[in-house]
Structure 1
Amino acid sequence: MIALTIAQLADAVGGRIVLRGGDSVDTVVSGAVDTDSRLIEQGGVFVAKRGEETDGHLFVDAAVAAGAALAIVEHEVDTDAAAGLTQVVVADAVDALADLARAVVAQVRASGDLRVVGITGSNGKTTTKNLLAHILAATGETVSPKASFNNEVGAPLTMLRVTDTTRFLVSEFGASAPGEIARLAGLVEPDIAVVLMVGMAHAGGFGGIEATFHAKSELVRAARPGGLAVLNADDPRVAAMAPIALERGLTVRWFGRGAAAAVRADEVEVTASGTSFVITVDGVSAPMRLRVLGEHHVMNALAAVAAATALGVSLDDAIVRLEQVEIAERWRMQPLGSDRVRIINDAYNASPDSMAAALRTLAQIVGPDERSVAVLGAMSELGEYAEDEHDRVGLLAVRLGVQRIVVVGADARRMYLEAVAQGSWDGEAVFFATADEAYEYLLGELRDGDRVLVKSSNSAGLRFLGDRLGESFS
């Protein structure tokens, strides 16, 4: 975090100062901010957040032991360990975290050359964030989220990592309910708003696809007037955000596969080692080979290039940087195993759209003497749409000709039943209640030439099954 006096910090969060340990209101704090006491470093600021299962106030002593210089709390903590720790008392620690992020970003913006990019979409946020951050890092100091820090805690924590010399802040905005993106993006008013797609991810929380559209469009509405909206020309719902952008005073920059997009891809060729295509930006074309596996990541790369070139990065430099990226993130189309048995671990998140994209990639990369194997788990947060969407995945796996379909977990069983109903009745589709059972089966079933996709939502836990398979067949 940038250097702030205790008085400035308390003013930003609307808190009451409890001075201890010889501090004064003019004492400066500048350490990293975190809600996890295990991650606090010397001079850090600990935010005692209440959670569903625990209370951050119970860990103030641990934060002190780790070297915390100050704690933001909802009530004073009077333990012996905390006796020398200055505290700022607030009504709500999560709200205070957001208020502090807003103030810090505003101060850096006012005194420097900070540009903020916000990214949202039903799928692809983390990959696009990582690709864009990798491009921009060669131009100037860039801050972007760790993993998928895109919620009411993760997004402000990322914002608080900016310094007086930060050139670019890339923020990822996720949501499970309406209004969340508006609140988070409103903290920073992005100069560039990137919307990737509107799909069925989190549809249960939003209440359907149209509600998802309105939620994702909140990022465009939150963008800084005079800024830029980078929109997916191939997604009709994203394209429908253009009038919102224009009303907001934004310029629209289109990306996609169609000829009308300012940033587009042609001649796309998918292999087991990556995806080649010709990228065109504002009429200038060049070849690109993306090492990140999966045709669907072409759109993420286009979005990243659209934002980066709008920020002054040349197309040639963007291509060089993107071609260096081997994986988007752990557990996202991550190649494991060996050339003999290749495991593709994509089990960090799953939605109907990303599940379909991953299955299509599996079908595309299997050679004539190789076998496709899909290890599938449940997709979460679909609410009333869950049964139909799991049915569709089972149907798609059969229609794509996946040769072995291994379904894991009771919540995913409908994929198996639909695969059997569609003709995978002679052992092509199998079901296991647990990942351990599936692992034992796959150890005996997999053979040379197999290409194995492991795909599920995070909650299904199949990412660990993918890791185990990768190690076993390395």
Structure 2
Amino acid sequence: MIALTLAEIAAVVGGELRVAREDTAETVVDGIVDTDSRMMEPGSIFVAKPGAETDGHRFVGAAVEAGAVLAIVEHVVDVPVSQIVVPDSVASLGDLAREVVARVRAGGGLRIVGITGSNGKTTTKNFLARILEDEGETVAPVRSFNNEVGAPVTMLRVTHGTRFLVSEFGAAAPGSIAHLAGLVTPDVAVVLMVGMAHAGGFGGIEATATAKAELVAAAKSSGTAVLNVDDSRVSAMQELARSRGMRVVGFGQGTAADVRAHDVQVTASGTTCEIESAGERMPLRLQVLGAHHITNALAAIAAAGVLGVPLADAVARLETVEIAERWRMQPLGGDRVRIINDAYNASPDSMAAALRTLAQITGPDERTVAVLGAMSELGESAGEEHDRIGLLAVRLNIQRIVVVGPEARRLYLAAVGEGSWDSEAVHLPDQDAAFEYLRTELRDGDRVLVKSSNSVGLRHLGDRLGELFS
């Protein structure tokens, strides 16, 4: 974080300052800011966040032992450290992020990109960060830090030397993206897609589209909307962007795209296509598996182009990316049995894309095995969407369908109903049972996809299988 005095921080968050030790109101703090006491280091600021399972106030002492010099709390804690008492510590985290980013931006050198979409946010963020880091100091979230805590924590990492801030915005509820994007008012708003992910929490896909459009509405009116014109709901956001005076750059594979992919090919070693932008054409060879990641690459290239990065540089840097992120189409195992661990998250769209990738990269003498768990947060559509994935797996001729957990049983029943008989489809109660089954069932030449929502935890099964067959 940039250097601020304790008095300045208290004023920003609207809290009561209680100094301790040898501190005064003019004591300067410039360390990292986090809600996790384990992340503290000398000079840090610890934000005590209440939670459903535990309370951050219990860890103020541990944070101080690790080096924290200031705690933002909702009540005074009996620990010898300066404290700022606020009504809502999470809201204060956002207030502090807004002020810090505004001060850095006032220097004129900071450009901000916001990214949202039902799928692909983290991969696109990683792609764009890789492109921009060679241009100058770039701050981007670790993992999927895209909520009311993770997004501000990332924003607070900016310094006066930061050239680019890449923010990822998730939507826990209507208004979430508007709030988070409103903290920084992005120069570039990237919307990837509108799908069924989290649709249950919004009341349907049209409400999800409205939530994603909040990013366009919150961006600078002099900024640029980078939109997936292959997705009709995202493409419709062009009207909103232009009504606000924003420039629009479209990406996709259709003729309406300004940044376009041609001839997409998927193999076991990666994904290739030809990129067309502003009259230039050049090949892109991604090491990352899956045709759906071409969409994410196009978004990153388009956003980078808005920020002045030449196409050739963007492509060259993307080609160095080995995996999108841990547990996202991550290759594991060895030559005998290859595991694709894609179980960090799952929606109907990403599940279908992963299954298609599995089918595309498996040779005629190899066997496809899909280890599938439940997709979360689909609301009333959950049953229908699990049915659809079960049907798709059979129609793609996935030769072994291993369904894990009671919440995914309907996927299994749909696969059986579609004709996956004679142990081609099995249903197992949990990942331990699945591991015991797979350790004897898998054989040389198998190509195995492990896919589920994060809450199901199949990413850990994928890791175990990867270690077993490495």
TM-score tier, shorter chain, comes to over 0.9
User: 8 Å contact 1:374–1:404 — kept in the other structure?
Assistant: yes
Distance 1:446 1:7 in 2: 62
- 1:331 maps to which residue? 327
- 1:53 maps to which residue? 53
- 1:75 maps to which residue? 75
1:22 aligns with 2:13: no
- 1:220 maps to which residue? 216
C-alpha deviation, 1:260, in angstroms: 2.0
Which residue type is aligned with residue 51 of structure 1?
G
Which residue type is aligned with residue 103 of structure 1?
E
Which residue type is aligned with residue 396 of structure 2?
L
- 1:98 maps to which residue? 94
Distance 1:128 1:67 in 2: 34
Which residue type is aligned with residue 107 of structure 2?
S
Per-residue CA deviations over 1:382-438 (Å, capped at 9, x if unaligned) read: 111111111111000001110000000000011100000000112110010011111
Which residue type is aligned with residue 261 of structure 1?
A
- 2:152 maps to which residue? 156
Distance 1:62 1:270 in 2: 48
Which residue type is aligned with residue 331 of structure 2?
P
C-alpha deviation, 1:22, in angstroms: 1.7
- 1:36 maps to which residue? 36
C-alpha deviation, 1:247, in angstroms: 1.4
User: 8 Å contact 1:192–1:229 — kept in the other structure?
Assistant: yes
User: 8 Å contact 1:264–1:279 — kept in the other structure?
Assistant: yes
Distance 1:136 1:428 in 2: 46
C-alpha deviation, 1:369, in angstroms: 0.5
- 2:161 maps to which residue? 165
User: 8 Å contact 1:262–1:283 — kept in the other structure?
Assistant: no
Q: Size of the alignment, in residue pairs?
A: 470
TM-score normalised by length of structure 2 = 0.99
Per-residue CA deviations over 1:66-93 (Å, capped at 9, x if unaligned) read: 1111110111112xxx22x111111100
Which residue type is aligned with residue 58 of structure 1?
R
C-alpha deviation, 1:112, in angstroms: 3.8
- 1:415 maps to which residue? 411
Instruction: Map 1:177-326 onto structure 2 (within 5 A).
Output: 177-326=173-322
User: 8 Å contact 1:379–1:456 — kept in the other structure?
Assistant: yes
Which residue type is aligned with residue 175 of structure 1?
A
Distance 2:41 2:372 in 1: 40
Distance 2:244 2:348 in 1: 31
C-alpha deviation, 1:277, in angstroms: 0.6
C-alpha deviation, 1:24, in angstroms: 1.2
C-alpha deviation, 1:95, in angstroms: 0.3
User: 8 Å contact 2:339–2:450 — kept in the other structure?
Assistant: yes
Give secondary structure in 1 for the equivalent of 2:106.
helix
Distance 2:201 2:342 in 1: 23
Distance 1:425 1:455 in 2: 21
Distance 2:54 2:422 in 1: 49
Distance 1:204 1:258 in 2: 30
C-alpha deviation, 1:11, in angstroms: 1.1
User: 8 Å contact 2:249–2:258 — kept in the other structure?
Assistant: yes
- 2:464 maps to which residue? 468
Distance 2:386 2:103 in 1: 47
1:11 aligns with 2:11: yes
C-alpha deviation, 1:199, in angstroms: 0.2
Distance 1:64 1:342 in 2: 45
Distance 1:238 1:138 in 2: 30
Give secondary structure in 1 for the equivalent of 2:49.
coil
Give secondary structure in 1 for the equivalent of 2:296.
helix
C-alpha deviation, 1:345, in angstroms: 0.2
- 1:119 maps to which residue? 115
Distance 1:225 1:25 in 2: 38
Per-residue CA deviations over 1:194-230 (Å, capped at 9, x if unaligned) read: 0000000001111100000000000000001110000
Give secondary structure in 2 for the equivalent of 1:64.
helix
Give secondary structure in 2 for the equivalent of 1:425.
coil
Distance 1:151 1:220 in 2: 18
User: 8 Å contact 1:112–1:165 — kept in the other structure?
Assistant: no
1:425 aligns with 2:421: yes
- 1:129 maps to which residue? 125
TM-score normalised by length of structure 1 = 0.98
User: 8 Å contact 1:112–1:164 — kept in the other structure?
Assistant: no
Which residue type is aligned with residue 382 of structure 1?
L
Per-residue CA deviations over 1:154-199 (Å, capped at 9, x if unaligned) read: 0000000001100000000001211000000000000000000000
Please identify, of 8-17 and 350-359, the stretch whose mean Cα deviation from structure 2 is larger.
8-17
Distance 1:220 1:125 in 2: 15
Percent of counterpart pairs with the same letter? 71
User: 8 Å contact 1:343–1:469 — kept in the other structure?
Assistant: yes
Give secondary structure in 2 for the equivalent of 1:166.
coil
Divergent runs of 4+, >4 A: none
C-alpha deviation, 1:64, in angstroms: 1.2
User: 8 Å contact 2:40–2:68 — kept in the other structure?
Assistant: yes
Which residue type is aligned with residue 419 of structure 1?
A
Distance 2:74 2:438 in 1: 50
Instruction: Map 1:427-466 onto structure 2 (within 5 A).
Output: 427-466=423-462
Which residue type is aligned with residue 435 of structure 1?
Q
Which residue type is aligned with residue 229 of structure 2?
A
Distance 1:407 1:373 in 2: 11
C-alpha deviation, 1:63, in angstroms: 1.0
Give secondary structure in 1 for the equivalent of 2:422.
coil
